[in-house]
Amino acid sequence: MVKIFQSIIKGCFFLWIFAALIFSACSERDTGMFSQKSDGSRNGSMQFTRISLMLTEAGTNQTVHVLANYRDFDGEGGSPPTIDTLRLRSHNTYVGVIEIFNERLDAGQEGYDLREKIMEEAETHRMVYSYSAVTGHLDRILVGTNDLDSNGFPLGLEYTVIVTTGPEALGKFKIVAYRYNSVTKDNDNPGDAVIFNIEFPLRIRG
């Protein structure tokens, strides 16, 4: 009788361990874009493998005049990302879009095109662009947002880049993607979660 009781206790213990592991695995599930917890809250991380900047000179009929890619297929802790140099010309205005992909998924699968997801949740997202000079003047680049969310606040998936007149210069073109979790989005406040913060090397031809 004692042995039977011990066997029952041992069996219940292993069942409890198994249930705890299952619960832990289900408490945070991968949505393809964010790490989403069981209560529906999200952190600021986005699972992406490629970010593409596609710019066209204003007033031209070309589809894409400038293309720069940020690629990081294996994510944090893996190989360093490969980052193209963004090459712009002095005294020019460009209109651009940003594309964000998770290429670990198949094209067409939910979570592959993250731009679409951000557009659906525009009221809680914002892209902020900035420029820092390595050589030359700090005011060589001006960036403006072209798209708004349904409340009239900037989104930043579409933007305009104005390059002022001057000699050749080097710099960094920075993009910070914010998510608004517990703060209200407006024209001034950044989100309380950073989805990504990346820099493209920038070369301005005189």
Residues 55-80: pLDDT tens digits? 999 877 666 689 999 999 887 777 89
Residue ranges per structural domain of the chain = 2-28, 42-205
Q: Which residues pair with 179 in a beta bridge?
A: 125, 193
Global pTM value: 0.75
- Kindly report the average pLDDT of the chain as a whole number: 80
Give CA–CA dist 144/65, Å, rounded: 19
**For residue 25, is pLDDT > 50?**
no
pLDDT for the residue numbered 71: 95
Average pLDDT over residues 179-184: 92
Name the percent of the chain lying above pLDDT 70: 75
Is the dihedral angle over the CA atoms 12, 15, 17, 20 positive or is it negative?
Answer: negative
Q: What are the helix (H) ranges across the chain? A: 2-27, 114-120
Average pLDDT over residues 120-125: 95
CA dihedral of residues 118, 123, 125, 128 (deg, nearest 10): 120
Q: How confident is the model at residue 90 (pLDDT cuts 50, 70, 90)?
A: very high
| Residue 51 CB partners (closer than 8 Å, separation 6+) | 69, 70, 98, 99, 100, 101, 175, 196, 198
